Amino acid sequence: MEFIAGAEDWLARRNWAAWFLAFTASAFVLALRAPDSLVHPQFWAEDGSVFFADQLHHGAPRLFLPYAGYLLLIPRTVAWIASAFSAFYAPAIYSYSALLIGAASIASLREMRLGLGGFAFLLAPFALTPTNGEVFGTLTNVQWFTQFYEIVVVSRFIDGRPPASTWRAGAATIFAGLTGPFCVFASAAAAIGWLWIWRVEQRGASSPWSRLRSPAAYGVGILMLCSFLQLWVMRNGAEDTHATFAQWIGGVDTMFAALQSHFFGHRLMPDSVFLALVTIVVAACLIWIPSAGGDRATLACILVFVLAGFLAAGIKAHNPALIWTEIVFGDRYFFAAKIFIWWCVAAALALIWRRGSGIRLATLTLLLGASVVYANASLQRMPMQNKNWGQFARQIDNGEAVTVPINPNWQMSLPARKPPSFEQ
């Protein structure tokens, strides 16, 4: 009995070591893509003008203050924690928090089974896809990484695998679900996945309700509760991006027309050819990828998740003033789509080469590398300008009113701290 207990303890330590290795590799990739965010941390856009400014001079956390039409719990929480320290450290706290949260979100993907061959196949697109870098190194855009943790929650539900720690997974799901609108898309993906397993995979062999009673379903339940809350906030928010149906259709068409530019860095072939190739690769994976272990159902759920977010972005993409067709703008809206397509390429390679995981990974890396080289795109985000934050931080700590320049050519006006009032 002692031997068995010792073996189980060793396996538990090994699993923790595997997760830590995945986390370290993910953090290394994110650090390489935005090294200036760690060496010379700077505020980026809403980091300063919204999250820092809204929390300044407020002792109580402003966790549930909406912005852009939805809740952003993670940035608000980091802003509240950072408010306990000198303003001088705020950009560093924001940047390092973004790195750690992003790395943890990517590392959680190792729980998924997509028939690819290992975590390296999931990590490679994060390291080598061409991008303007706007999602890397900023707390404002950390939600574009936490969306992948929500995919993991759905994957657990599809596979019927409970998380290692229910309370930690539940807390992480709440924070991810209340940061951005992605919980809405994840809930839709979970519903489609449940129907997929019931109708296609299991062929009615077991009760469809048994999956809803599994421990893994609690995470999806949390996501759905977060979805109701986010939808309520969106409905009652001040987001000014409403579009008519015709405008939305035009925006969706713009999104699909721009996908190749964001995928390769610029147009390599006619858009119709590119979309046809993508459709063939995705369809082949959905048809021939092994159904054992939930691989096929998980892939279908991720497709629903990505398409839902892609179609929702069409509401903004109808604006002709926004240059969606160029990678220099709006690349964050294509982030998940690019990652998903490369996962499908990896799955297609696995279908072609049943053996030789190393050869498949080398081929995927070469394809990714060729894409970046041909696009002439940098793997690193352009360094931010030094805005002399330390000079203004002293004034902020002294309670003075100040107007501060921040990246990218923004500025924020911060009020003076009100002196405490004493009643006679």
Would 400 be classed as within a structural domain? no
The domain of 362 spans 44-375
Confidence (pTM)? 0.91
- The residue ranges of the chain whose pLDDT is under 50 are 1-5, 7-8, 10-12, 293, 422-424
- For residue 66, whether the previous peptide bond is cis, meaning omega lies within 30 degrees of 0, is no
The pLDDT tens digits of the residues spanning 400-413 come to 999 999 998 899 99
What pLDDT, on the 0 to 100 scale, is given for residue 1? Answer: 44
**CA dist., res. 138 & res. 141, Å (int):** 6
* Total number of domains in the chain: 1
Q: Which of 326, 325, 347 is nearest to 278 (CA)?
A: 347
The pLDDT tens digits of the residues spanning 122-149 come to 999 999 998 888 899 999 999 999 999 9
- Report residue 166 as tokens: 């229910």
Q: How far is CA 236 from CA 46, 71, 151, 320, in A?
A: 21, 12, 27, 26
Would 295 be classed as within a structural domain? yes
What pLDDT, on the 0 to 100 scale, is given for residue 4? Answer: 44
Would 23 be classed as within a structural domain? no
What pLDDT, on the 0 to 100 scale, is given for residue 424? Answer: 44
**CA dist., res. 379 & res. 130, Å (int):** 7
What pLDDT, on the 0 to 100 scale, is given for residue 355? Answer: 74
| CA–CA–CA angle 104, 49, 398 (5° rounding) | 105
Would 250 be classed as within a structural domain? yes
Would 22 be classed as within a structural domain? no
**CA dist., res. 91 & res. 330, Å (int):** 23
**CA dist., res. 178 & res. 266, Å (int):** 34
DSSP summary character for residue 135: T
Would 87 be classed as within a structural domain? yes
What pLDDT, on the 0 to 100 scale, is given for residue 375? Answer: 67
What pLDDT, on the 0 to 100 scale, is given for residue 12? Answer: 46
- Across the strands, what pairs with 138? none
**CA dist., res. 230 & res. 236, Å (int):** 10
Would 275 be classed as within a structural domain? yes
Helices (H) and strands (E) in the chain, counts: 18, 2
Would 412 be classed as within a structural domain? no
